[in-house]
Amino acid sequence: MSKEITTRAADYSQWYNDLVIKGGLADYSAVRGCMVIKPYGFALWENMRDQLDKMFKETGHVNAYFPLFVPKSLFEAEEKNAEGFAKECAVVTHYRLKNDPDNKGKLMVDPEAKLEEELVVRPTSEAIIWSTYKDWIQSYRDLPLLINQWANVVRWEMRTRLFLRTTEFLWQEGHTAHATQQEAVEETIKMLNVYADFVEEYMALPVIKGVKTASERFAGAEDTYCIEALMQDGKALQAGTSHFLGQNFAKAFDVQFLNKENKQEYVWATSWGVSTRLIGALIMAHSDDQGLILPPRIAPVQVVIVPIYKGEDSKAPIHEKVNAIMKELKEAGIRVLYDDSDASRPGWKFAEHELKGVPIRLAIGLRDMENNVVELARRDTKEKKTISMDGLTHYIVQLLAEIQQNIYNKALAFRTENTREANSWEEFLRMLDETPGFISAHWDGTEETEEKIKEASKATIRCIPLDNVVAEGVCIFSGKPSKQRVLFARAY
């Protein structure tokens, strides 16, 4: 049929694209590098967003919204940050179009409408936010300032991929200001933990918490913490970052506060973000050759009910029964969809909802009603069984939790199997090609070696895990002494 998807073994990239497009999550758009997020994909994002938003608020944060445009002079104030993003910035230079006198019916940029100062379309909002914080912060009593914003940003990437890297993407960015270094560092770690908890508990995706090396650090940060996840093709994906910004932005934007001793001090800052990229991680971590597999806790539809008719007469009683089941499921807080469309037959619906990753499917026909049972199929294991209608809601509530856990366990087992220790350069290279995944290996701690390893192997240091044990060894590349193993992988 037209909805067949490429298998992972045949072409992993194409498999991923097929799931995104045919699973109804997103579509290509008329704009290079930008995608349309379709209702089903956006519902998924909304579920993720709502949960994260709740967790941010539980940790004392509030939402605000800052402008899309950043005056160039503000943008360049924090030098390292500006430099880091400079080559991927979209820039607004004019504010008006006019009719093209040489080309009827066409428009042209009006050369008379050139902006005095160019506006950078935000690749991130530190600059505009810190220029604002300057006015908001005077005393230690104004601190901490704990603000998050849900926004779109633009980064002009060379090569784009649906959800994983698009020119425009949706994200949240938290920007906090603190009176002490310690408090800011604690905030950085706290939000890293919020991300890890969210990704593990809601997206059923195990992550490694770690700190980035200097070369992988966010431009303008003192330290960048991250959560790293492993995809089914053995490539790593950075799922979220939390930055300790020190006083870099406070100094660049002159944000000082009066402390209890009546002395001026620069504030300490953090920023942290996750994006729609998480959806890409979700797809690549869990799904199979039949389609998406979505964890129940964030799936737009948790249970789909497909009626099995036997002639017109059976429709009414089935509808009646299904409505009763739906009412109960909804009361239990379950997102349920009744697919009673006459346009397609049951078999087609089964395949369609499997492609879309709906965790549980119920099929109900007259035969089932006579026996007071329902056919239940779970997406994660493809297991199908007949269960009693009595206590159905309770059963489903428990099963959803079990599916959530099972998906997590599977991903965790995969990551465990595909995390290896390499003790020599040859072994390291062989692993990357033959059994791709995380590779734990000794590194001498220098940027030069890191760069050489990257050049020679295409693998990067994903992070120095936070729970790393200190263990002496020798660097796999340079042979120099090393204090600990770090986590390498080829990455998205």
Partner RNA sequence: CGGGAUGUAGCGUAGCCCGGUUAUCGCGCCUGGUUUGGGACCAGGAGGUCGCAAGUUCGAAUCUUGCCAUCCCGACCA
* 162 vs 203, beta carbon nearer RNA: 162
Q: Minimum distance between the CB of residue 180 and RNA, rounded to whole angstroms?
A: 27
* 7 vs 256, beta carbon nearer RNA: 7
Q: Minimum distance between the CB of residue 374 and RNA, rounded to whole angstroms?
A: 7
Region of residue 317 (left: phi > 0; alpha: psi -120 to 50; beta: else): alpha
Binding site for RNA (CB under 7 A): 1-4, 13-14, 16-17, 28-34, 87-88, 155, 157-162, 164-167, 169, 216, 218, 238, 241, 275-277, 308-312, 315, 342-348, 350-352, 354-355, 363-368, 375, 377, 382, 384, 458, 491-492
Q: What distances in angstroms separate CA 53 from CA 45, 59, 166, one per listed residue?
A: 12, 10, 23
Rounded CA-CA distance 44/41 in Å is: 5
Torsion of CA 458, 238, 68, 174, to 10 degrees: -140
Rounded CA-CA distance 489/492 in Å is: 10
Q: Minimum distance between the CB of residue 283 and RNA, rounded to whole angstroms?
A: 13
* 171 vs 266, beta carbon nearer RNA: 171
CB crowding 405-419: b at 16 or more within 10 Å, else e: ebbbebbeebbeebe
* 62 vs 108, beta carbon nearer RNA: 108
* 179 vs 192, beta carbon nearer RNA: 192
Q: Minimum distance between the CB of residue 303 and RNA, rounded to whole angstroms?
A: 14
Q: Minimum distance between the CB of residue 14 and RNA, rounded to whole angstroms?
A: 6
Which two structure tokens, joined as six digits, stand for 379? 């997406």
* 73 vs 435, beta carbon nearer RNA: 435
Any bridge partners for residue 107, and if so which?
99
* 61 vs 378, beta carbon nearer RNA: 378
Q: Minimum distance between the CB of residue 478 and RNA, rounded to whole angstroms?
A: 20
Q: Minimum distance between the CB of residue 257 and RNA, rounded to whole angstroms?
A: 30
* 241 vs 287, beta carbon nearer RNA: 241
Q: Minimum distance between the CB of residue 351 and RNA, rounded to whole angstroms?
A: 3
